[in-house]
Amino acid sequence: MRALVRLEDRPEVALYEVGRAERIVDERALGLPFGAAGLARVSSSASRRLLALAPLPKVRCADRALGGVDLFHHTSRVLPPVARAKESIAVAEIPANPASDRLLRAALARVDAVLVFSASCAKRLRDHYALDAGRIHRVAVGCDHWRRELAVLPPRDEVPRILVLGPLNAPRRHLRILKAFELLVESGLQAHLHVVGAGGDAEQDFDRVVAASKVRLRVARDRSLPEAELAALVARSSVLVHLVDDVETAVTPLEAFSMGTPVVASRLPALEEGLGAFAELVLNGELDHDSELLVDAIERSVRSARDPAACAARERHAAAFTWERNARETVAAWRAVLVRPSRP
């Protein structure tokens, strides 16, 4: 949104909020000049949960509530009623649980266009949901949120910091990362392991193992951090370890690249596509049986963090993925949808 409103040929923007929950995003983070011409904002008190369960005839159609719009872009899989406008939605992950799958399937059947951030996501939408390729628009993801928070990059920590971001859920393999860290320390590497993420299904096991570990004094844990502090932490770290089972965007590793920080990530199609040869990519199935693979990848990354040429190469790679580019490609996709005949 910040990039969209800065475009010279930007469309007029109207924001429509659904739900009763407290806003969790600071309005200033949107970069929107509220009250300015060409920008409108309307809120609906309708519950998202009720909208997900059944249509609500008494809820005013979102496009009419905004005074009429040409296209309504959804940022949630729970879609408010829309009377006449064409519709689009962005998909950054394919849900694994049945309830979320049903919501996405219903949304895909309704919208005129789907925006994706990787070729693998486009393929999965075609294969799994039989989505017409003509309705899929691939746009670049941006990765300059964290970099924007820092006027000047801080120096890397003298003692290497191994960083892990995200909730403590089993697919992120925090216990496997901890085991690799223990092996690295045993081999003589002076380093810290820093975990930032809310609780999840693996939190109790992780806390229990850390408490009994010989390296427990070298492990730091934050449930969350302010955006500027998180950005500085990524810039100071020697490596971001990003292990996941299923993603369709490389945005988090690319954010680390924007500050030159090395990345160890799961070898998944979307991450291979977005990170190329600039990251250490590991197969989840192999490292689940061999911690040494992760140890070696982290060791190489720590060395790379001390190489100015390698850091500069990662920054150059990330520089192509801006939110301005995302905004331009998104607007182009919307315009393509508007000139296409409506679906029957």
Fold of the domain built from segment(s) 145-319: Rossmann fold (3.40.50)
Q: What's the pLDDT at 5?
A: 81
Query: Which alpha helices (H) appear in 37-97, and where do they start and end?
Result: 48-53, 62-65
DSSP 58: T
Q: Edge-to-edge strands of the sheet including 192-196? A: 219-222, 192-196, 161-165, 239-242, 263-266, 280-282
At residue 268, the 3 state secondary structure works out as: coil
pLDDT tens, position by position, 62-103: 888 888 899 999 988 888 889 999 999 999 999 888 999 999
Percentage of the chain lying above the pLDDT 90 cut? 73
Q: How crowded is residue 5: how many other Cβ atoms within 10 Å of its Cβ?
A: 17
- List Cα–Cα distances, 219 to 83, 194, 196, 239, 266, in angstroms: 53, 6, 11, 15, 22
pLDDT band at 296 (very low <50, low <70, confident <90, very high): very high
pTM value is 0.88
Q: Cα(first)–Cα(last) distance of the chain, in Å?
A: 31
- Is the model more confident about 43 or about 106? 106
Instruction: Report whether pLDDT(11) > 90.
Output: no
Q: What's the pLDDT at 56?
A: 46
pLDDT tens, position by position, 121-160: 999 999 999 999 999 999 999 999 899 889 899 999 999 9
pLDDT band at 6 (very low <50, low <70, confident <90, very high): confident
The CATH architecture one would assign to domain 4-140+323-339 is: 3-Layer(aba) Sandwich (3.40)
Q: Residue 135 corresponds to which amino acid? A: R
Residue ranges of domains in the chain: 4-140+323-339, 145-319
Same fold, 4-140+323-339 and 145-319: yes
pLDDT band at 13 (very low <50, low <70, confident <90, very high): confident
Instruction: Report whether pLDDT(230) > 50.
Output: yes
pLDDT tens, position by position, 304-313: 999 999 999 9
Q: What number is the average pLDDT over the span 159-178? A: 97
Q: What's the pLDDT at 187?
A: 96
